[in-house]
Amino acid sequence: MPKVSEVFASISGEGLTQGYQTVFVRFIGCNLHCSWCDTNYARQGGEEKEVSELIEKILAQEPIRHVYFTGGEPLLQHQAIEDIVDILKPLGYEFTVKTNGSVQVSPLMSVRPSVGFAVDVKMPSSGMESEMCYENYMVLRKTDELLYACADKVDWDFAINHFRFIQSRYGCLAQPCFSPVWGSKEDKPPVGQTWWQEMADLFMKQGPCNGKYSLQLHKCIYGVNKRGV
């Protein structure tokens, strides 16, 4: 049975789905240890749930038809995702999987091609940048996205060089979305507006024209470190 932390409805906060009404399914368990992890509570604990129970919780949020699988690392429990998609896809649901970038997306993509992928690219500030699965960049599609969360200029330089590299080396088609980490090293909480503006300027000067800059909307609305939003 899948281990899950929570199922809740909220506004999608980042990336290509930003602003959409969304049901989030947060799986428990992660294979990485990011230095600034904002979902430590999804790394362990949680409860085992039947897939049927998860589907009931998703259906209870009707008429929302977008489901976002997150974590932790949801691809560690991809069988549950396949089962949920099989039941809800015929009812008109759309799906996005947010993965931490260290696990292959192709096993799920090949059997459930309608699922979209939002792939985190870990930056130097996370301490996990060497853990990325580069095979993913060969298979991601135009409808998939790369999430670059940057805490400072070092991260930004890494992000922009990384995106250029995977485009030229692997022909990566996914759309890049760049956002500042909240309460980053250069800007202490409660807000990091100086870095937000600096990063926006960098994005205008150096960002790819198929890229997107965004603040994490759910944190703007509900604040940092709030669960279930």
| Positions that interact with ligand SF4 (CB under 6 A) | 30, 32-34, 37, 39, 42-43, 71-72, 100
Q: In what order do the strands lie in the sheet with 94-99?
A: 47-48, 3-11, 21-27, 66-70, 94-99, 116-120, 145-150, 175-180, 212-213
Least Å distance, CB 92 to ligand SF4, is 29
E strands in 72-217: 94-99, 116-120, 145-150, 175-180, 212-213
Least Å distance, CB 62 to ligand SF4, is 28
Least Å distance, CB 44 to ligand SF4, is 10
Least Å distance, CB 109 to ligand SF4, is 19
10 or 100, CB closer to ligand SF4?
A: 100
Q: What separation, in Å, do the N-terminal and C-terminal C-alpha atoms of the chain show?
A: 25
204 backbone dihedrals φ, ψ, rounded to 5°: -65, -35
39 or 167, CB closer to ligand SF4?
A: 39
User: What one-letter code names the amino acid at 129?
Assistant: E
44 or 210, CB closer to ligand SF4?
A: 44
Least Å distance, CB 71 to ligand SF4, is 6
Strand-pair partners of 94: 66
Separation CA 36–CA 124 (nearest Å): 11
Token pair belonging to 33: 């240890």
123 or 202, CB closer to ligand SF4?
A: 123
39 or 104, CB closer to ligand SF4?
A: 39
